[in-house]
Amino acid sequence: MFKHILAAIDGSEHSTKAAKVAIELARTYGSDLTLLHVTRKLDLPDQLKEYLKAEHLTREDLPALDEATKRIIEDVRIKAEAQGLKRVRTIFREGKPARSIVDYARSASIDAIVIGSRGLSDFESALLGSVSHKVASLAGCTVMIVK
């Protein structure tokens, strides 16, 4: 049913949970699994500025932030392979997260995108983050939002 599943990972616990669901789905359907992380260009968006402030980080800490995300994604890949998935791919793209996720999904003929309901931002009141909201609206394929 799902030949190729995409898990969008921003390094948050929500996205790690989404990745676990993506792994289960890929195991069930014998799907290829791609892990996608979109890095933003360095004109810092408010959200990232606030994240840095909350974590007492500075712009100079950003490469460390990316390294941490890379490690999280690598852990997901190792877990997926340990669970028997043979075709796991990791992709890094630069740009706006929602647009990049939707465009990548289209270009790679993805059948299902799995994302978290929320991400890194600690803005508790909204049920859905803006990336999950936009991806669900714009994607041409099935989107699973993991809560």
Tell me which residues touch Mg ion (CB under 5 A): 119, 121, 129
Of these, 2, 102, 105, 118, which contacts ligand ATP (CB under 6 A)?
118
Q: What is the CA radius of gyration of the chain?
A: 15
Of 6 and 86, CB closest to ligand ATP: 6
Cβ-contact 66, 41 below 8 angstroms = no
Q: Shortest Cβ contact with Mg ion: which residue?
A: 119
Q: Return the one option of ligand ATP, Mg ion, none that residue 132 interacts with (CB less than 5 to 8 A, by type).
A: ligand ATP
Of these, 33, 131, 139, 143, which contacts ligand ATP (CB under 6 A)?
131
Taking the complex as a whole, the smallest distance from the CB of residue 124 to ligand ATP amounts, in Å, to 9
36: its two tokens = 């996608």
Taking the complex as a whole, the smallest distance from the CB of residue 40 to ligand ATP amounts, in Å, to 7
List binders of ligand ATP among 48-107 (CB under 6 A). Answer: 97
Q: Sheet containing 112-116: which strands, arranged edge to edge?
A: 88-94, 32-39, 4-8, 112-116, 142-146
Q: Does 139 contact ligand ATP by CB under 6 A?
A: no
DSSP 1-56: --SEEEEE--SSHHHHHHHHHHHHHHHHHT-EEEEEEEEPPSS--HHHHHHHHHTT
